[in-house]
Amino acid sequence: MPRAKKPAPDAPVENGQSEAAPDEPIAGGRVEETFQIFQEVQGSVVGRSREVREIFAAMLSRKHILLEGPPGTSKSTIVRAIAHSMNVPFHFIEGSIDLTPSKLLGFFNPGKVLKDSYLREYFEMGPLTQAMEEGGVLYLEEFNRMSAESANLLITPMEEGVINIPRYGQVVARKGFTIICSQNPYDDVGTLQVSRAFLDRVVRVRMDYQDEAEEIEIVDLRAGESDPRLVKTAVRITRLTRSAPEIKLGASVRAAIDIVSIVRNLSLLSDGELRPEDLADACKMALTSKIWVAETINATPEELIERVIERARKELGSDFYLAGAGDKKKRS
């Protein structure tokens, strides 16, 4: 792909976003409107005020963004909430080795080209060119799974706001065009080293696990009405997988959400009977696929989860799910 020509000097370009005066807010609105959108986003996610502020500040500064954090740490939730509240076009793409440059950029419809010739209207835009033309957000999840060839394609649009497509011509980014990428900081199968050239063109927002109270609130929100002790227990067990010495990478709040809803449905299938063994089964179902056991450990993921459950039982005492309630109890 040839590098695009620099735009004319009278078309101000800053980080790939043309036509905007430096103090003009995002989404073409006014400052008060931007602040309202910011507050709306804050209201739709649990906690995360630093991260939401940083992402908004980056967008107001017309920067492209890299969100870095372990799985399940609100990256997609925040980006979707921002795009929704701003009411801007939003393109969500999963990074993978199969994401070829033409899937990002678009391609000429081969049937039409064969019948006719390379006409501009036969070009089918990809998410990158669509986001550029619409001034929208292109969100690339697990960016570091993309091929270097596809990742490099983003550099000129990020830097200059334009891209040249052979036989089609130039696509110019409208104001608001933003690339947001996410990656998790752990080396994993299928990830690639992100190039320095790319990293030099983004600002990075670090995401980490939220505190216990916020995770309880997230589980309440996502799993729906539940026994508070069940939620507390599921969150504590999940959090303990992150500090367990036998586990290299613990589970995210997704696991706690899964535990709560599986326990609830297991009890439903036992005619409403609340059984302590359902908690252990749900934990194994929810956690064993998500944790990454340290290589030196000679134990199965199921055994490790049992150990973690026991640690949580000791820590929570009477706050543990069904503690002191005998072996079985009927759901009220």
Q: Which residues bind Mg ion (CB under 5 A)?
A: 75-76, 141
Using the rule CB under 6 A, is 71 a contact of ligand ATP? yes
Question: Of 267, 260, 131, 144, whose CA–CA distance to 202 is shortest?
Answer: 144
**Kind and range of the H or E run holding 120:** none
Question: Of 138, 111, 108, whose CA–CA distance to 124 is shortest?
Answer: 108
Q: What part of residues 234-263 is at the interface with ligand ATP (CB under 6 A)? A: 253-254
Return the residue of 24, 54, 134, 141 that touches ligand ATP, per CB under 6 A. 141
Return the residue of 13, 20, 27, 45 that touches ligand ATP, per CB under 6 A. 45
Q: Which is nearer to ligand ATP, 43 or 317 (CB)?
A: 43
Question: Of 34, 47, 39, whose CA–CA distance to 214 is shortest?
Answer: 47
**Kind and range of the H or E run holding 286:** helix 276-287
Tokens of 34: 């931007």
Residue 188: exposure state from Cβ atoms within 10 A (0-12, 13-18, ≥19): middle
> What is the pattern of x (binds ligand ATP, CB under 6 A) and - over residues 308-327?
--------------------
Using the rule CB under 6 A, is 46 a contact of ligand ATP? yes
CB of 202 to ligand ATP, least distance (A): 17
Q: What part of residues 182-201 is at the interface with ligand ATP (CB under 6 A)? A: 184
Using the rule CB under 6 A, is 47 a contact of ligand ATP? yes
Question: Of 149, 172, 142, 155, whose CA–CA distance to 103 is shortest?
Answer: 149
Q: Which stretch binds ligand ATP (CB under 6 A): 12-20, 42-50, 194-202, 270-278?
A: 42-50
Give the DSSP letter string of 3-45.
PPPPPPTTS-EETTEES--TTPPGGG--HHHHHHHHHHHHHHS
Q: How far apart are CA 192 and CA 178, in angstroms?
A: 22
Q: Which is nearer to ligand ATP, 205 or 293 (CB)?
A: 205
CB of 75 to Mg ion, least distance (A): 5
Q: What part of residues 74-113 is at the interface with ligand ATP (CB under 6 A)? A: 74-77
120: CB partners within 8 A, 6+ apart: 168, 169
Q: Which is nearer to Mg ion, 159 or 258 (CB)?
A: 258
Q: What residue 45 binds from ligand ATP, Mg ion, none (CB within 5 to 8 A, per partner kind)? A: ligand ATP
| Binding residues for ligand ATP (CB under 6 A) | 45-48, 69, 71-77, 141, 184, 218, 221-222, 253-254
